[in-house]
Structure 1
Amino acid sequence: MQQDVEFIEAYQESDALLDWLKLTQIPKFSVASLLKLQKKHGLTLSQLLLLPAKQLEQLGFNSQQVEIICRPDQNRINTSLQWLKAAANRFILYFEHTDYPQLLKQISSPPAVLYGYGNYKHLSRHQLGMVGSRNPSTQGKENAQRFAHQLSEQGWTVTSGLALGIDGFSHQGALLGKHITVAILGTAIDKMYPKRHIKLAETILASDGVIISEFSPGVPSKPENFPRRNRIISGLAVGTLIVEAAIKSGSLITAKYALEQNREVFAVPGNIHNPMATGCNYLIQQGAKLVTCIEDINEEFRCVNLPFLNAKQTIEQKSSDQSLASDKLLDSVDFEVTSLDLVAQRSGIAVEDVMSKLLEYELCGLVSAVPGGYIKLGEK
């Protein structure tokens, strides 16, 4: 008897999945379109897909849509099912699935289907999106990795787009402590992009992370698909942190999506002369919260049940670091590359003593040696 129940449940699950795979083929027809149609006519998706052409036309479907509904591409469906069955760590979540992320359901254009690797239940964890430039400064790279690591240490799941630059460093920062991180692809689920991050993707999955895409196996890559995935990054998260970005960038598109989705937007301020900081500075002017430490983020989510560090401890640590970073030597190091000779000249300390002290500060995480000198990193 129990086996019969399991068989029926498995059949119903498969039947619903097939219906949603068919829906993804209908041109210019989204989840929002379906919900609108259901509200007006009380039709379920399975009922809609069984309607004859004439009734579909009466509901407002055009000839191309009618053709797809009546004769879906079975090869595309088979490709998705074959991909799903090829390995145990793969999944397909459709909009009405009980484990489809609730936060993502709330956005205006949720993906009808999510294809993924890993444990899909992690998609319902408390997530913080992190995005930024594909060509970040040394400071931007360090900020991304440091913020991601500290956020992960306190229980946040860091979500980003697996792209080069800030995205990659954000994932790496989360992985420093073997924490879970979620990556959203802008390509088909079976095409990891960029190829330079294939190893990073493997590490994410080996650390119990998740990689998802709304694009089915075999779908050709298109430039317009990358901005589309940004709404998923912000949609899965309660807030998005822009680490470093230019005015015209995909990161600001993500921030725009986050605002439209009524989610928090955070930005790390940057040097006014750095083109890669103009986007963050602009967002702050427009009302995004300026972030200098993770407590600036955490204080916006006091009601979120996470193992946060004691706020007082965090503030005291910040104060202690700032005190240390205000001595004469560190005052001589800029947040941009500062040569060793210039540090010695500004501080009035002998070069050999400067080198020794800066090595100590580098071990403390207050400065970083880079080609041409040192940069100040800020509080750890």
Structure 2
Amino acid sequence: MTVSTRDPTEVAAWVRLTTTPGVSARTARNLLAAFGLPEAVLSQEAARLGEVAEPAAVRALVARPDEAMAERIDRTCRWLDVPDHAVVTMADAAYPARLLDLADPPLVLYINGNAARLQAPSLGIVGARHATAQGERNAQLFAQAFSEKGLTVVSGLALGIDAAAHAAAIEGPGNTVAVVGTGVDIVYPARHHGLAHRIVDAGGAIVSEFPLGTPGRANHFPRRNRIIAALARGVLVVEAAERSGSLITARLASEIGREVFAIPGSIHAELSRGCHKLIRQGAKLVESPADVFEEFADLGTPQRVAGQAAVAVSREAGTMPGDVFGGALSYDPVSFDALCERAGMIAEAASAALLQLELAGAAERLPGNRFRRLA
């Protein structure tokens, strides 16, 4: 298992599988589960691919790559030649284990900056683009407190609350991660070019699941929000209208078991209504960073990074795929927590090993974050 994907042949295969028109992320995931890594998928005959994918996707995958695809691959490989640029796939040890809590985790992440930052304990801060001055000050106060405690602040590089949180977080040791809804080589909004450079220069990271050169589109930002929600241990909503994208992030966070926090405001303020709605739905009302810290006894405690703790699954002849868990993974479904306890493995290592087993077709993920052995 590699830390990140840099080999040109591997990069080309991942780019083809994940950006070929007509091949959905779900189809790509099914193909990986059936055949292994992208190079293996792309080497299959059309008939075999047709057992897993719809006809249009099969035709697209078996066709000779066009000039646009060749340019996309070449652009990605040239981009990877620059220091602090990385492509991290689901098969890499550097892939953030927390993203596997999503029903549709991104297959590929493009990272500009410190990729290890995505493994760090983190909290999300989101809110209105047209924030009030007080809202921006609140975002700065909480982000600074989180970063000073060594926690990475995750947000979306948008105007208003996001920008205030990023700017404050880079001043502390926790730093920040910006998840964007464009290609990672594009800064949106354009006025945040300076902030984006400061994030990378300070040791933070900018990350996207969209290929290089992808412009901002309305449907990209909800997908961006699910990554923010999954990376963080909890999400703080600072200011939000009743129909705000921040509420989507909060809902997604709650659905995958993350804590949701909201700062209250005036009952007459439009940008308080979203926060009040969240509080009525069960989000914790917070007035200071201490209110957030008391929910997490272990926040700020050093944690091992998945890239350091990942367990490589041997593909050598004679090695049974499930042996990495010492028999803890059986043919009967077992919860993730129980599997970690039985195998004596930390969560990051177990997630990385399970991912390899899933790609190899040796393990199956079931509803409720349970797993069972298949081979």
Distance in 2 (CA, whole Å) between partners of 1:269 and 1:75 is 49
Question: Alpha carbons of 1:236 and 1:30: their partners in 2 closer, same or farther (altered >3 Å)?
Answer: farther
Offset at residue 70 of structure 1 (A): 3.9
Q: CA deviation at 1:46?
A: 2.9
1:78 paired to 2:80: no
| Cα offsets for 1:156-202 (capped at 9, x unmatched) | 10011111000000011212336411111111111111111111111
Change (3 A) 1:121 1:162: same
Q: Indicate conservation of the 8 Å contact 1:131/1:251, yes or no.
A: yes
Task: Decide whether the 8 Å contact of 1:248 with 1:279 is kept in 2.
Answer: yes
Q: Residue 244 of structure 1: which of 239, 246, 258 is its match? A: 239
Segment of structure 1 superposing worse, 182-191 or 273-282 = 182-191
Q: Of Structure 1 and Structure 2, which has the larger fraction of its residues in helix?
A: 1
Q: Are 2:160 and 1:165 aligned? A: yes
Structure 1, residues 12-63: CA drift from partner, whole Å, max 9, x if none?
Answer: 9444333221221245655654554555x46544322211223222334222
Amino acid at match of 2:73: I
Taking structure 1 as reference, are residues 92 and 60 closer, same or farther at Cα in structure 2, changes over 3 Å only?
Answer: closer
Trace 1:1-380 onto structure 2 (pairs within 5 A): 13-27=7-21, 29=23, 32-37=26-31, 41=34, 43-72=36-65, 73-85=69-81, 87-177=82-172, 179-306=174-301
- Counting matched residue pairs gives 298
Matched residue type, 2:41: L
Structure 1 pair 216/12, CA: closer, same or farther in 2 (3 Å)?
closer
Select the structure with the greater relative contact order (CA < 8 A; seq sep ≥ 6): 2
Given that 1:57 and 1:63 are in contact with CA atoms closer than 8 Å, whether structure 2 keeps it comes out as: no
Aligned residue identity for 1:243 = V
Query: Structure 1 length as normaliser, TM-score?
Result: 0.73
* SS of residue paired to 1:226: helix
Alpha-carbon contact 1:57-1:66 (below 8 Å) kept: no
Cα distance per residue 1:271-297 (max 9 Å; x no partner): 110000100000000001111111211
* Structure 2 CA distance for partners of 1:283 and 1:211, relative to 1, 3 Å: same
Q: Is the alpha carbon distance of 1:184 and 1:11 closer, same or farther for their aligned partners in structure 2, counting shifts above 3 Å?
A: closer
Percent identical among aligned pairs is 41
For the 8 Å contact 2:6–2:87, the answer to whether it is kept is no
CA contact (8 A) 1:31 1:110 kept: no
Structure 2 segments unaligned to the other structure (5+ residues): 303-375
Deviation at 1:233, TM superposition (A): 0.8
Q: Distance in 1 between matches of 2:3 and 2:279?
A: 50
Q: For structure 1, which runs of at least 5 residues remain unmatched after alignment?
A: 1-7, 308-380
How far does residue 228 in structure 1 lie from its aligned partner after superposition? Answer: 1.4
Q: Distance in 1 between matches of 2:183 and 2:72?
A: 13
For residues 145 and 211 of structure 1, the distance between their equivalents in structure 2, rounded to whole angstroms, comes to 19
State the Cα distance separating 1:74 from its structure 2 match: 2.2
| Residues in 1 aligned to 2:6 and 2:165: alpha-carbon distance in whole angstroms | 39
Equivalents in 2 of 1:216, 1:11: separation in Å? 14
Q: Once superposed, what is the RMSD of the aligned Cα atoms?
A: 2.4
The letter for the 1-side match of 2:137 is E
- Rounded to whole Å, the distance in 1 between the matches of 2:238 and 2:4 is 44
Whole-angstrom distance in 1 between the partners of 2:4 and 2:282: 48
Preserved contact between residue 160 and residue 171 of structure 1 (Cα < 8 Å): yes
Say if 1:26 and 1:65, in contact at 8 Å, map to a contact too.
no
In the superposition, the TM-score normalised over structure 2's length comes to 0.74
For 2:212 and 2:161, the matched residues in 1 are separated by: 26
Counterpart residue identity of residue 129, structure 1: G
